[in-house]
């Protein structure tokens, strides 16, 4: 069966773009990824900012940022650009500088790139992130790759645009810790280079809103879609292995992943942009108790900064989308994750609780952790070990070629870790020898710490 051809026919002209991508990005695995262990590291274990900037220069080709990325339909691309922040080279350059600038943090040790590290798939590859004064948050850092194409930002969708999102970590007390936007402005406005760059980019002096806009403009250049799966969907039947092809069929069939992770040439990220409780948070929490606490605190202070603090710094993090909508059905719901480049951004889920993609499969195979708010699409899948390996092989074909070396390193590392320990495996549940409510009855009493 030639799935590639059928899918291309089906998406027609509405696609983000087909055909051109493979030809444009010829530079293969950058040397830095092969040397992951010798990367020079700075505060919080991130690669040094200089090293990251050099690494980025190798993988981000010079391009005309006023145009849609190669292969994109210009009309579709235009819809992702805010009206007040057209892409210009000056804005992108400014944002690129700000992204790596630790002066935007209170103690000068943290930049965006500390947690969204170029050498680690634009994440920190930590369970949950570490900010100023070595404070550990409650959430796993998602990648910023391809976030330009998301409909909402943050795992609970509490921010509408990249420009808006970028302002929040700067003032979050456990991330970059600035007391307010003015303090961030003051930290850099004495720098003559910045004064000039802000004038050139936005025609204004250094200000907090434009810090957000410039970083947003830079992030919109991080479009990394050129994966083996993409070439396969474009008709290159040899682009992925037979094992991965079997995994792709399972993804769209027996394993039901596609019901939430929609993935095709016109929708390459692999997310429906919606929120579901897939039973990850149920491992830790009593939703009702946390929910009423959150409602009380958000009534006292309904600001977006307060919400950001609760989401990142307290156990209320587990409420997910509920804290944004205050809707009971959203308890423990998070946005369906982007699957593109997923292999290079372990550990997984909003709390980083699943160390490898094999653990992710074990979680889904047993139907997730039972809880009263579990999404109706979650059921035991009865996948065999061979089928699990096929699905994992498939997920390793979703990495942009520029990260091929890190992808290979992750494959070895995750396989070794999974062979050593897979804590989330439960064949009793996966094959329905035990029913979910049996655990739930026990869980309601026993699981809440
Ligand atoms: C201390 C670590 C840390 C720092 C510093 C940090 N982030 Fe994040 N970032 C995170 C975590 C954790 C999340 C997930 C938070 C959530 O969803 O509630 C996140 C989420 C995001 C998202 C949303 C991605 C998505 O899938 O919705 C973007 C974009 C992002 N950060 C960009 C930035 C930018 C730009 C900066 C610098 C201004 C920055 N981050 C600084 C840890 C960090
Ligand atoms: C009911 C909707 C739904 C189904 C079905 C589903 N997912 Fe997910 N997936 C999600 C949501 C929501 C998240 C984020 C959950 C969280 O962070 O707590 C997620 C997260 C993930 C992640 C982690 C990504 C990351 O960066 O942390 C992977 C990998 C994944 N899913 C793969 C799959 C696979 C493979 C299948 C099929 C076996 C599948 N999903 C089925 C909704 C779904």
Residues near 172 by beta carbon (within 8 Å), at least 6 away in sequence? 131, 305, 308, 309, 312, 313
CA of 67 to the centre of ligand 1 (A): 26
pLDDT tens for 325-351 read 999 999 999 999 999 999 999 999 999
Tokens 């474009």: give the residue: 234
* 39 has pLDDT over 60: yes
pLDDT tens for 144-180 read 999 999 999 999 999 999 999 999 999 999 999 999 9
Confidence category of residue 38, pLDDT binned at 50, 70, 90:
confident
Can you tell me which atom of ligand 1 is nearest the CA of 308? 18
Q: Which residues line ligand 1 (CB under 6 A)?
A: 110, 112, 114-116, 129, 131, 137, 139, 141-142, 144, 147, 150, 153-156, 162, 165-166, 169-170, 175-176, 215, 311-312
* 10 has pLDDT over 50: no
CA of 364 to the centre of ligand 2 (A): 8
Rounded Cα gap, residues 224 and 21, in angstroms? 10
* 16 has pLDDT over 50: no
pLDDT tens for 52-83 read 999 999 999 889 999 999 878 899 999 999 99
Rounded Cα gap, residues 144 and 438, in angstroms? 40
CA of 112 to the centre of ligand 2 (A): 25
**Which residue of 100, 165, 280, 311 sits with most ligand 1 atoms within 8 Å of its CB, as the best mutation to test the pocket?**
165
**Tokens standing for residue 140:** 């796993």
pLDDT at 442: 59
Can you tell me which atom of ligand 2 is nearest the CA of 381? 38
CA of 40 to the centre of ligand 2 (A): 33
* 3 has pLDDT over 60: no
Phi-psi map region of 278: left, alpha, beta (phi>0 left; psi -120 to 50 alpha)? alpha
Mean pLDDT of the chain: 89
CA of 325 to the centre of ligand 2 (A): 21
Closest Cα to atom 40, ligand 1: which residue?
A: 112
The CB-side HSE value for 38 (13 A sphere, CA atoms) comes to 5
CA distances from 364 to 40, 295, 368 (A): 37, 31, 5
pLDDT tens for 97-126 read 999 999 999 999 999 999 999 999 999 999
**Which residue of 142, 161, 208, 273 sits with most ligand 1 atoms within 8 Å of its CB, as the best mutation to test the pocket?**
142
Rounded Cα gap, residues 8 and 343, in angstroms? 25
Residues near 432 by beta carbon (within 8 Å), at least 6 away in sequence? 380, 382
Q: Which residues line ligand 2 (CB under 6 A)?
A: 155, 255-257, 259-261, 276, 278, 280, 334, 336-337, 342, 345, 348-350, 357, 360, 364, 375, 377-378, 391
CA distances from 245 to 249, 260, 395 (A): 6, 19, 10
Question: 100, 46 in Cβ contact below 8 A?
Answer: no
CA-based nearest residue to 401, from 6, 130, 27 = 27
Question: 280, 363 in Cβ contact below 8 A?
Answer: yes
For the CA of 371, the nearest ligand: 2
Question: 188, 94 in Cβ contact below 8 A?
Answer: no
Question: 225, 21 in Cβ contact below 8 A?
Answer: yes
Question: 187, 104 in Cβ contact below 8 A?
Answer: yes
Residues near 24 by beta carbon (within 8 Å), at least 6 away in sequence? 61, 70, 71, 226
Closest Cα to atom 31, ligand 2: which residue?
A: 337
pLDDT tens for 377-395 read 999 999 999 999 999 999 9
pLDDT at 445: 46
pLDDT at 420: 93
Question: 390, 246 in Cβ contact below 8 A?
Answer: yes
Rounded Cα gap, residues 306 and 325, in angstroms? 15
Closest Cα to atom 34, ligand 2: which residue?
A: 257
For the CA of 275, the nearest ligand: 2
**Which residue of 127, 255, 272, 364 sits with most ligand 2 atoms within 8 Å of its CB, as the best mutation to test the pocket?**
364
């Amino acid at each position: 069966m030639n799935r590639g051809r059928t899918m291309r026919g089906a998406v027609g002209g509405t696609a983000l773009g087909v055909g051109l991508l493979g030809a444009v990005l010829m530079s293969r695995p950058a040397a830095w990824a092969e040397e992951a262990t010798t990367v020079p590291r700075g505060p919080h274990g991130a690669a040094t900012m200089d090293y990251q900037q050099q690494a980025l220069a190798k993988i981000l080709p010079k391009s005309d940022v006023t145009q849609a990325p190669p292969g994109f339909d210009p009309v579709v691309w235009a819809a992702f650009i805010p009206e007040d922040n057209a892409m210009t080279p000056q804005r992108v350059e400014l944002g690129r500088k700000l992204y790596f600038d630790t002066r935007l943090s209170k103690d000068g040790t943290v930049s965006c790139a500390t947690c969204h590290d170029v050498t680690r798939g634009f994440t920190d590859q930590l369970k949950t992130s570490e900010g100023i004064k070595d404070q550990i948050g409650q959430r796993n850092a998602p990648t910023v790759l391809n976030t330009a194409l998301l409909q909402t930002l943050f795992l609970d969708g509490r921010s509408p645009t990249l420009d808006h999102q970028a302002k929040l970590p700067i003032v979050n007390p456990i991330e970059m810790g600035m007391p307010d936007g003015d303090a961030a402005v003051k930290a850099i406005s004495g720098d003559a280079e910045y004064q000039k760059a802000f004038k050139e980019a936005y025609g204004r002096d250094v200000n907090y809103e434009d810090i957000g806009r410039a970083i947003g403009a830079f992030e919109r250049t991080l479009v990394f879609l050129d994966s083996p799966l993409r070439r396969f969907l474009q008709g290159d039947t040899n682009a992925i292995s037979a094992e991965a092809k079997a995994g792709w069929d399972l993804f769209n069939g027996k394993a039901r992943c596609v019901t939430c992770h929609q993935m095709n040439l016109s929708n390459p990220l692999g997310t429906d942009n919606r929120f579901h409780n897939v039973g990850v948070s149920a491992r830790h929490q009593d939703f009702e108790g946390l929910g009423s606490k959150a409602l009380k605190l958000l009534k006292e202070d309904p600001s977006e900064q307060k919400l950001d603090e609760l989401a990142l710094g307290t156990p209320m993090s587990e409420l997910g989308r509920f804290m944004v909508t205050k809707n009971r059905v959203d308890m423990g719901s998070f946005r369906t994750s982007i699957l593109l480049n997923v292999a290079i951004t372990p550990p997984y889920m909003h709390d980083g609780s699943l160390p490898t993609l094999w653990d992710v499969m074990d979680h889904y195979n047993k139907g997730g952790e039972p809880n009263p708010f579990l999404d109706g699409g979650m059921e035991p899948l009865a996948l065999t070990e061979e089928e699990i390996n096929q699905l994992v092989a498939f997920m390793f074909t979703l990495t942009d070629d520029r990260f091929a070396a890190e992808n290979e390193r992750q494959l070895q590392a995750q396989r070794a870790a999974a062979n050593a320990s897979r804590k989330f495996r439960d064949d009793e549940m996966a094959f329905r020898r035990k029913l979910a409510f049996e655990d739930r009855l026990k869980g309601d009493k026993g699981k809440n710490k």
